[in-house]
Amino acid sequence: MVPVVAIAVADCSKSGEADLKLVEITGNDEMKFDVTSFEMKPGQKVTVTLTSIGKLPKEAMAHNWVLLEKGTDAAKLIAAGAAHAETDYIPADQATNVLFKTKLLGQGESDSITFTAPSQPGTYDYICTFPGHYAAGMKGVMTITPPAK
C-alpha cells in the first residue's frame, strides 16, 4: 500500500489568525511516518493528525507524534523513557523538552493536536517514543522558515 500524504493549508484570516496548516501523518507496522518533514512559518497555527494504520495490536505497535524542543537529544530522551510506559515513554525529567504530543495510538486510531509553531526559526525534531521506533527511523523534522526580508 502506498501511503497518501495530505498537507493542506486553510485560510483562517476571518478570525484574525495566521493561516492554519493541516498536516496528516500515518504510522505503520514498519515503524515509519509517511511524512518526514514539513515547513512552517514562525507563529503559524498547525493541526497535526496522526493515524495508526498498522495491523499489530497496540501493546506491540503503538505510535505517537512528539515534537521536541530545538536542540533536544532525541536518542537520550528515548533511552531514558524506555521504562516509563505510564508517561508514553517520556521521562519526567525530560518533559520540558517536549513541546507538543499526541497520545499513543493503536491500530486504526487517530489523534490530532493544534498548536502555534515556535517563533524561533530552525529545525525541530519529531519522533515516536514507543520503544524501538525511533531507532527504526520513526522520526521527522518540522522546519520553521525565517520570515522573508
DSSP letter for each residue of 118-136: PSS-EEEEEE--STTTTTT
Q: What pLDDT does residue 19 have?
A: 85
CB 20 within 8 A of CB 46: yes
**What pLDDT, on a 0 to 100 scale, did the predictor assign at position 57?**
94
Q: Residue 34's pLDDT is what?
A: 98
pLDDT digits (tens, 9 = 90+) for 50-73: 999 999 999 999 999 999 999 999
pLDDT at 1: 36
Cell numbers at 52, concatenated:
495508526
The C-alpha cell of 88 is what? Answer: 508514553
Instruction: Enter the CATH code of domain 6-144.
Output: 2.60.40.420
Which of 135-138's residues contact partners 24+ apart within 8 Å by CB, and which partners?
A: 135/78, 136/30, 136/31, 136/32, 137/31, 137/32, 138/27, 138/31, 138/32, 138/33, 138/63
Place of cell 515509519: 32
Angle ∠(112,117,119) on CA atoms, nearest 5: 170
Exposure string of 97-106, with b = 16+ CB inside 10 Å and e = fewer, is bbbbbbebbe
Q: What is the pLDDT of residue 88?
A: 96
**Sites in the chain below the pLDDT cut of 70:** 1-18
Q: Where are the domains of the chain?
A: 6-144
pLDDT of residue 146: 87
